[in-house]
Amino acid sequence: MPDSPSSIVNASGTLYLVATPIGNLEDITFRAVRILKEADLIAAEDTRHTGKLLHHFQIETPQLSYHEHNARSRIPQLIEKLQNGQTVALVSDAGMPGISDPGYGLVCACANAGIVVSPIPGPAAVVSAIAASALPSDRFTFEGFLPVKGKARTERLSQLATEPRTMVLYESPHRLLKTLADLQMHLGSDRRVTVARELTKRYEEFWRGTLGEAIAHFTATEPRGEFTVAISGHTATPQTISQADLLQQLEELISQGLSPSKASRQLAQETGLSKREIYQLSLTMKQEDG
């Protein structure tokens, strides 16, 4: 049952993860405003940025900075306050705290200490972008920010090349073209992409096309604002393989101890062929053996 207007008074020792607007202030929820007003303390990624939000909604709750550079020292302080019965509201600069930000560490510390963690849902750039991307959204993977450079970046991009789900990632304006070029190198220039800019803000924009077209567009048009990029997943192209070769591969897998069903599934993944058709072929092998 949803909490009543006064329930926060009795919910001592709770860390609330409060989603804040990613652009448009009207996107904040009534519940988020109430929690921020009634909490004992607001732990904010940037107190100056959050201060503008608090001023707009006439929220006078004191703030404490909590960001990636002071998280190690702040976590014990916040845990102590929570254990002493104080209610803490955690906010990031925009969206849901704990997603691609240092809030994750505090949530883990609370979980280990047996402190209640309660999410106050609201705006999230990843969900907004995938919903309006016009790319498959029934299954998708959130990649956050890609590694900036080196082996870690190359390995991640190589993994994404064969990812079948739609992929969503965040990128800054000055790195957008570099990321699009790296994606093209590993995924191909024809892969579909939707580039969302300034979500929920005045200059919100969705650009849709291929990676090759995206590079041309953002080379001609300087990237400005914050970007959320959705890329279509890898679609396996069925290989041309003879029935004799397919039977031979089936026999080898089954001889290794795989069941006909598992062998069919593995071959379907490797070749792009229908698992059902391969399985039917495995049944003919049994009939011939019989």
Greater model confidence, 182 or 271: 182
Count of CB atoms situated within 10 Å of the CB of 278 = 22
Query: What pLDDT digit, counting tens, does each position of 24-58 carry?
Result: 999 999 999 999 999 999 999 999 999 999 999 99
- pLDDT over threshold 50, residue 5: no
Averaged pLDDT for residues 173-193: 95
Query: What pLDDT digit, counting tens, does each position of 141-157 carry?
Result: 999 999 998 999 999 99
Counting every residue written for the chain, the total comes to 290
According to the model, what pLDDT value does residue 208 have? 97
Identity at 214, one-letter amino acid code? A
According to the model, what pLDDT value does residue 289 have? 55
Residue 207 gets which letter from DSSP? Answer: E
Largest CA distance in the chain: 81
Query: What pLDDT digit, counting tens, does each position of 222-270 carry?
Result: 999 999 999 999 986 656 777 888 888 888 888 888 888 888 888 877 7
Who contacts 35 (Cβ-Cβ below 8 Å, separation ≥6)?
8, 16, 18, 89, 120
